[in-house]
């Protein structure tokens, strides 16, 4: 599908969300793209329940609360979210606008791009095994899109968190499941842990204590995996492996966009937070400049300054008048207050 | 000031100055060795994984639950695995020895 908007924000972390607010005050509409299937970036994915103590005037706020409150704050501006999609390619159009295509084939065009990509996209953590890519999507799957694919098959699930246990429990109904984990303690929610242990007792699943050390197979198809438990090796025959070792952040496709990048960070100026390419901005954890601090607070400031410059690209013939939300009737109307 | 000894992934030994109050991850990172420490020491990434020497391991305070849980997302974990951001350097740790886990 094709979309058209003023600004595309890559990354729906706290900084991307607040950018919607600053841009919205200037009548600039946004679409946001995030690889995660939820909103909130690191705050929601890595530490939803941990308290943050250095958001001005919020004495104590959890990662999830911060995300929820930002969503309430930007609601009047009706941002459009494209979740579970990665921004892959960027193309400059003849009229100086940009078109971004996403991993699910959407094309979004806009006058400016704001990269608020944190430390990059959240992607599954891969087993450190040589040529593992050859097996991906044939024998190794990091998510389950269609569970019937695994029906009546012998599969191995590795990991000890919620995804590993949820899928062990779920797929035990239709597949022959073996769970491999390095210890017999699990960080998943207690209900799934007790369900899994019950299934094991009833011999409906198998549990192996250990860690996967290598994979044998050919042409992208696994034949067996080797696991190790304190020096004792065990070989398990299987064709399918579902590793769930959480997510990590990786710069990903943005690295190929010809931006000036230094140590996986995008260089910007500190007046407009514009990158080496005009009308592409970078704010939040992803950018670098002298004195940069990776704080949510700094990202918010960067969003405000970026928005001023974006205005000149989105409304080249208009003059931007600086106003406060406390006193401007116009801004208050936009906020619906 | 004390020191710690770190073997990098090529097997090269580094003696690093260590100051109380810093974490082992911070000492390694600030010395410019290749440790990712993606989350900056919040026990949220497992990319600061190290293997302690047996004797050094026994000097450490035992692991908290969140460190043990986070190790589930690391690979090639062994009995002497720790997340270096969760170890605070103190004088009694002078001279401890460790190896950076593979990436
Ligand atoms: C455990 C922990 C505790 C912290 N505590 C504090 C604290 O107390 N105070 C503080 O100020 N900061 C803290 N931080 C840091 C803070 O979370 C970050 O500074 C903040 O999240 C940065 O926000 P962001 O919006 O720039 O990026 P992120 O929150 O990293 O969000 C970026 C988003 O962009 C997405 N993305 C990237 N590339 C693409 C792409 N190509 N396509 C689609 N999506 C993409 C990612 O999936 C991600 O969701 C903490 C961090 C951690 C891990
Ligand atoms: S630096 Fe992330 S867990 Fe230690």
Read off the tokens for B39.
Answer: 């989350």
Q: How far is the CA of B39 from the centre of ligand 1 (A)?
A: 10
Predicted-complex ipTM score: 0.89
Rounded Cα–Cα distance for residues B1 and A278 (Å): 49
Rounded Cα–Cα distance for residues B3 and B22 (Å): 12
In this predicted model, what pLDDT tens digit does every residue of A59-100 receive, in sequence order? 999 999 999 999 999 999 999 999 999 999 999 999 999 999
DSSP code string of A295-307: -HHHHHHHHHHHH
Q: Using the beta-carbon criterion (under 8 Å), do A119 and B76 form an inter-chain contact?
A: no
Q: Which ligand is nearest to the CA of A47?
A: 1
Q: How far is the CA of A236 from the centre of ligand 1 (A)?
A: 38
pLDDT band at A43 (very low <50, low <70, confident <90, very high): very high
Q: In this complex, how many residue pairs, one in chain A and one in chain B, have their CB atoms less than 8 Å apart?
A: 43
Residue to substitute in B24, B29, B43, B67 for testing ligand 2 pocket (most ligand atoms within 8 angstroms of CB): B43
Atom of ligand 1 nearest to the CA of A296: 11
* A220: three-class secondary structure by DSSP: coil
Q: Give me the domains of chain B, ranges plus CATH numbers.
A: 2-100 (3.10.20.30)
- Average pLDDT of the residues of chain A: 96
**pLDDT score, position A1:** 84
Shared fold status for A2-123+248-335 and A127-245: yes
User: Closest approach of chain B CAs to the CA of A179, in angstroms?
Assistant: 14
Neighbours of B60 (CB within 10 A): 17
Read off the tokens for A10.
Answer: 């890559």
**pLDDT score, position A269:** 98
Instruction: Name the CA dihedral angle for A185, A186, A187, A191, rounded to a multiple of 10 degrees.
Output: -120
Q: Which residues partner with B88 through β-bridges?
A: B23
Asked if pLDDT for residue A2 goes beyond 90, the answer is yes
Domain positions in chain A are 2-123+248-335, 127-245
Interface-testing mutation among B38, B46, B71, B75, with chain A (most A C-beta atoms within 10 A): B75
Q: Tell me the CA distances in angstroms from B20 to A80, A101, A270, B51, one per residue in order.
A: 49, 50, 35, 21
In this predicted model, what pLDDT tens digit does every residue of B5-50 receive, in sequence order? 999 999 999 999 999 999 999 999 999 999 999 989 999 999 999 9
- Tell me, rounded to whole angstroms, the distance of Cα A163 from its chain centroid: 16
**pLDDT score, position A97:** 97
Overall CATH class of domain A2-123+248-335: alpha beta
Q: Using the beta-carbon criterion (under 8 Å), do A125 and B73 form an inter-chain contact?
A: yes
- The fourth-level CATH superfamily of domain A127-245 is FAD/NAD(P)-binding domain (3.50.50.60)
Average pLDDT, stretch A213-219? 94
Rounded Cα–Cα distance for residues A332 and A317 (Å): 23
């Amino acid at each position: 599908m094709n979309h058209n908007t003023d600004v595309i924000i890559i990354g729906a972390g706290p900084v991307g969300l607040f950018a919607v607010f600053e841009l919205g005050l200037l009548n600039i509409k946004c679409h946001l793209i995030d690889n995660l299937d939820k909103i909130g970036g690191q705050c929601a994915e890595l530490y939803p329940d941990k308290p943050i103590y250095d958001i001005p005037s919020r004495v104590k706020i959890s990662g999830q609360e911060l995300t929820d409150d930002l969503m309430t704050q930007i609601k009047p501006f009706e941002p459009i979210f494209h979740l579970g999609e990665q921004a892959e390619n960027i193309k400059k159009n003849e009229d100086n606008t940009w078109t971004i295509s996403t991993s699910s084939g959407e094309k979004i065009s806009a006058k400016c791009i704001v990269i608020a990509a944190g430390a990059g996209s959240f992607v599954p953590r891969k087993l450190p095994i040589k040529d593992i890519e050859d097996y991906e999507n044939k024998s190794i799957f990091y998510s389950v899109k269609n569970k019937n694919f695994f029906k009546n098959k012998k599969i191995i699930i590795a990991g000890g968190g919620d995804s590993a246990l949820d899928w062990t429990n779920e797929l035990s109904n239709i597949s022959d499941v073996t769970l491999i984990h390095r210890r017999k303690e699990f960080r998943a929610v207690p209900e799934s842990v007790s369900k899994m242990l019950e299934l094991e007792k009833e011999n409906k699943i198998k549990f192996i204590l250990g860690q996967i050390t290598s994979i044998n197979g050919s042409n992208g198809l696994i034949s067996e995996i080797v696991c190790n438990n304190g020096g004792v090796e065990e070989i398990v025959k299987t064709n399918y492996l579902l590793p769930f070792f959480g997510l990590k952040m990786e710069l990903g496709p943005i690295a190929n966009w010809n931006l000036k990048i230094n140590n996986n960070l995008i260089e910007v100026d500190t007046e407009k937070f514009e990158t080496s390419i005009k009308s592409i901005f970078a704010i939040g954890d992803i950018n670098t400049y002298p004195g940069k601090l990776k704080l949510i607070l700094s990202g918010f400031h960067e969003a405000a300054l970026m928005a001023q410059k974006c205005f000149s690209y989105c409304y080249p013939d208009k003059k931007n008048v600086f106003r406060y939300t406390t006193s401007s009737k116009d801004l208050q109307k936009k906020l619906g207050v | 000031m004390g020191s710690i000894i770190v073997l990098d992934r090529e097997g090269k030994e580094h003696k690093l100055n260590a100051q109380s109050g810093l974490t082992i991850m911070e000492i390694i990172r600030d010395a410019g060795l290749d440790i990712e420490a993606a989350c900056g020491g919040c026990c949220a990434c497992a990319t600061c994984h190290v293997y302690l020497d047996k004797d050094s391991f026994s000097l450490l305070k035992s692991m908290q639950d969140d460190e043990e849980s986070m190790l589930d997302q690391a690979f090639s974990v062994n009995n002497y695995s720790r997340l270096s951001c969760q170890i605070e350097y103190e004088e009694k740790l002078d001279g401890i020895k460790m190896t950076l886990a593979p990436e």
